Structure 1
Amino acid sequence: MISYFGIHMAHAIKIADREIGLNHPPYMIAEMSGNHNGDIGRAFALIEAAKDAGADAVKLQTYTADTITIDHDGPDFQIKGGLWDGRSLYELYEEAHTPWDWHERLFKKASDVGISIFSSPFDPTAVDFLTALDAPAFKIASFELVDIPLIEKVASVGKPMILSTGLADLGEIQEAIAAVRRAGLEDFVVLHCISSYPAPADNSNLLTMPHLGETFNVLTGLSDHTHGTSVSVAATALGATVIEKHMTLDRNDGGPDAAFSLEPNEFRQLVVDCNTAWKALGGIHYELKDAEQGSLIFRRSLYIVKDIAAGEVITSEHVRSIRPGYGLPPKELESVLGQRARDSIARGTPLAWHHLV
C-alpha cells in the first residue's frame, strides 16, 4: 500500500470485525477513563452513548491505585500543577480507576449494545485479567510506553495493540516498537499523543504522525487531549487510522477527565467530521469528476462578440474569451485571429473551426 505521503505503509489490521487502515474510515475510540465517576450505571450509559455517537470502541483503563502506585505522602507522590494540582497519585487513581469487578459486566453491556470494548492494562495482573475476558485488543498508555516488560507481555498475547507515544522521544518509541515486534506481533497502531490535560492545539505537531509511519512502517493515529474536534479532523487528513478521544456524559458533572472530554453530541460530530475528512482524501485523481460535469459549460471559450461578414478578417474586436464554454478553447485565440470568416457570423455565436476559411 502507498500512503498519502508516498511512503510504503503497514498492512491493515483488524479489531473484532473492523478493518483498520488507510483504506478504511478512522477507527473511533471513546475513552471512558474515570468519567464513570464511580457509578457503574453511568459507565453503562457511556457505553450506550458511545455506540449512539458512532464510536467503534469504548476503552477502559484497568488498574487499581495499588497496582499503579503506592499510598505515600512523600513529595514524589504529590501532583504539582495542572488539572490535578495538590492531589496525591494514590488519591487520584483511587478515584479514577474502574473497579475490576465491573469489567465483566461492562464487557457484556458492550456486547449487548454492539460495540467493541477493550482496555489499557497497567501491570501484568491486568494483562492476565483482560486476557481472561477475551479482550479483542490492548492499549498501551503513554506513561507506560517505557515499561518494556509490560509491552512484551501484552504483545505475547497475540491480540492487536495500540500504543500511545506521549512523553516519549524517538528512541523510546523505537524501543517500544522493537519490543512488540520481538514478540512476533505486527498488528499494531502507533498513536501520536501530547500528554497534557488538556493539550494546547498549537503543541500538537501533527506532522510527527506521518513521520512515525514512514520511520517505523506502521499505521498511525492520534490520541487527542485537545479541546474540541479540529485537531482530530486535521489528523485524519494526515492519514490517521485511529482517533482516540475522551468522552463524558456531561462535563458539568465533573470527574477527573471531564474538562478535556467530549459530550455525546460532540463525539457524534467528531465521528461525522473525521469520516468526511477521510472521504475527502480520496486518491490522486486529475480526471473530470462526476460532480463537475454540470460545471463544464461555465468554462471560458471563444465567442463572436461583434457581427462579422462572410470573408471578413477576424480581429480581436470580433472574438473574445468569455463564458460559457461552448466555443473553441481560449488557447486557440492566436490561431483564429487573422483568418477569414467562411460565412457571416452573428454576435453571440460560439466560434468553431468550421466558421473559418
Structure 2
Amino acid sequence: MARTQIIAEVGANHGDDVNLAVKMIEAAAQAGADWVKFQSWQAKNLKPGDPNFERHAKAELSDEAHHRLIRACEANHVKFLTTCFDIGRVEFLAGLGLNTIKIASPDLGSHAMIRKLRERFEHLIISTGMSYDQEIQQTAELLGQTSYTFLYCISLYPTPLEQVNLARMDWLRQFTPSVGFSDHTLGTAAGKLSIARGATYLEKHFTLSRELPGKDQAISAEPDEIRELAQYARQVEQMMGEPCPGLSAKEIELRGIYIGKWGDNR
C-alpha cells in the first residue's frame, strides 16, 4: 500500500500576510507534510452583494504571492497545491506549471470549471462534502478516464467524531481507486483511521497556532499534530507491507524448530 500523502491546508490562515504563509510552509515541511495547500480566487468574481466580500478580498492571493509561495515550497522540498474557487483563475493557475489542482466541496457540481481544469491539469483532487450521491456519480461520469481523487469530507467545522463515518471511503472507491479524506475533526484520531483505511491523501487545516486570528484557526492542526500524522503514515506503510511476501529467513529457521516438536499432530 502506498503511503498516505499529508496535505497541510493553510487555506486563508495566512491572513493576507505572505511572510506568515512562508513560515507556515517551512513549519509544515519540517513537520513532514508532503503538500502545503492554499486557496485561489479573485474577490471581484464573487456574486454581487456577497456578505463575505471583504473577508475574501483581504485573503486573496496576488499573482506574485502565488509565485513566491511556490518558490518557498520548492526551497523547503514540499509540494505546492491550491484550490481553484474561481473559473476565471483557471488559466493563471495552469500557467504556474502545477500538475495537480484541488476542487472544493461546493464545486463538485461545477462542471464547467471542472471541464476546464481537467484539460489543464494532470490530476484533480475533489472534495465531496455536502454532496448528494447522485452529484458524486454525475461528476465521476463527467471525469471518465481523467486521473482524479475523491476526498471524503464532512463539511462541519469541527466535525464531531461520531459523525465521521469513514466507511464512506469504501463507497467512493467504486468511482476511483484513489480516495482520501479531508479531515475537519479536532485532533488526530480520525486522520489516523483514514490512513489505516488506505487514504491516498489526508488533508487537514494547518496553522502555526490556534490562537492566531481567523475563522479556521480554531479547527486547524498545529505542527506537532501534522508531525504525528506524517509519522503515523510512514509507520502504516511499513506495517502494511505486501499481500504475498513469503516467509522470512528467520521464520523458515523457526519452522525447523517448532513444527513437529510435539510429534506428528497433523
Q: Which residue of 2 aligns with 1:209?
A: 169
Letter in 2 for 1:193: C
2: CA distance, partners of 1:291 / 1:42: 52
- Do residues 239 (structure 1) and 198 (structure 2) align? yes
Q: Which residue of 1 aligns with 2:4?
A: 26
Relative to structure 1, is the Cα distance of residues 63 and 290 closer, same or farther in structure 2, using a 3 angstrom cutoff? farther
1: CA distance, partners of 2:182 / 2:221: 13
Letter in 2 for 1:209: M
Letter in 2 for 1:26: T
Q: Which residue of 2 aligns with 1:145?
A: 108
Alpha-carbon shift at residue 99 of structure 1 (Å)? 3.6
User: Which protein, 1 or 2, shows the higher relative CO under an 8 Å CA cutoff with sep ≥ 6?
Assistant: 2
Q: Which residue of 2 aligns with 1:43?
A: 21
2: CA distance, partners of 1:290 / 1:228: 40
Aligned partner (choices 63, 66, 69) of residue 103 of structure 1 = 66
Relative to structure 1, is the Cα distance of residues 266 and 328 closer, same or farther in structure 2, using a 3 angstrom cutoff? same
Q: Give the secondary-structure state (helix, strand or coil) at the position aligned to 1:250.
A: coil
Q: Give the secondary-structure state (helix, strand or coil) at the position aligned to 1:252.
A: coil
Q: Normalising by structure 1, what TM-score?
A: 0.68
Aligned partner (choices 81, 85, 88) of residue 118 of structure 1 = 81
2: CA distance, partners of 1:292 / 1:229: 35
Q: Give the secondary-structure state (helix, strand or coil) at the position aligned to 1:253.
A: coil
Alpha-carbon shift at residue 122 of structure 1 (Å)? 1.3
Q: Which runs of 5+ in 1 are unaligned?
A: 1-22, 78-87, 300-324, 333-357
Q: Check the 8 A contact 1:233/1:277 in 2, yes or no.
A: no
Q: Give the secondary-structure state (helix, strand or coil) at the position aligned to 1:29.
A: strand
Alpha-carbon shift at residue 218 of structure 1 (Å)? 3.1
1: CA distance, partners of 2:44 / 2:257: 70
Relative to structure 1, is the Cα distance of residues 121 and 296 closer, same or farther in structure 2, using a 3 angstrom cutoff? same
Q: Give the secondary-structure state (helix, strand or coil) at the position aligned to 2:165.
A: coil
2: CA distance, partners of 1:242 / 1:290: 35
Alpha-carbon shift at residue 126 of structure 1 (Å)? 1.0
**Pairs within 5 Å for 1:66-81:** 66-70=44-48, 72=49
Alpha-carbon shift at residue 295 of structure 1 (Å)? 8.6
Q: Which residue of 2 aligns with 1:56?
A: 34
Q: Which residue of 2 aligns with 1:196?
A: 156
Letter in 2 for 1:192: Y
Letter in 2 for 1:191: L
Q: Give the secondary-structure state (helix, strand or coil) at the position aligned to 2:33.
A: coil
Q: Check the 8 A contact 2:40/2:61 in 1, yes or no.
A: yes
Relative to structure 1, is the Cα distance of residues 298 and 152 closer, same or farther in structure 2, using a 3 angstrom cutoff? same
Q: Check the 8 A contact 1:148/1:176 in 2, yes or no.
A: yes
C-alpha root-mean-square deviation of aligned residues, in Å? Answer: 2.6
Q: Check the 8 A contact 2:105/2:127 in 1, yes or no.
A: yes
Alpha-carbon shift at residue 271 of structure 1 (Å)? 0.5
2: CA distance, partners of 1:329 / 1:95: 79
Q: Check the 8 A contact 1:199/1:225 in 2, yes or no.
A: yes
Relative to structure 1, is the Cα distance of residues 238 and 328 closer, same or farther in structure 2, using a 3 angstrom cutoff? same
1: CA distance, partners of 2:213 / 2:252: 52
Q: Deviations over 1:104-159 (max 9, x none)?
A: 11112212222211211112221111111112211110011111101111011142
Letter in 1 for 2:95: A
Q: Deviations over 1:246-298 (max 9, x none)?
A: 11011112322111111112111110112222332234459656787899899
Aligned partner (choices 110, 117, 137) of residue 174 of structure 1 = 137
Relative to structure 1, is the Cα distance of residues 295 and 153 closer, same or farther in structure 2, using a 3 angstrom cutoff? same
Aligned residues: 266
Q: Check the 8 A contact 1:33/1:97 in 2, yes or no.
A: no
Q: Which runs of 5+ in 2 are unaligned?
A: none
Aligned partner (choices 227, 230, 233) of residue 268 of structure 1 = 227
Q: Give the secondary-structure state (helix, strand or coil) at the position aligned to 2:211.
A: helix
Alpha-carbon shift at residue 46 of structure 1 (Å)? 0.7
Q: Which residue of 1 aligns with 2:262?
A: 328
- Do residues 277 (structure 1) and 236 (structure 2) align? yes
1: CA distance, partners of 2:251 / 2:74: 44
Letter in 2 for 1:241: T
Q: Give the secondary-structure state (helix, strand or coil) at the position aligned to 2:229.
A: helix
Q: Which residue of 2 aligns with 1:11?
A: none
Letter in 2 for 1:37: G
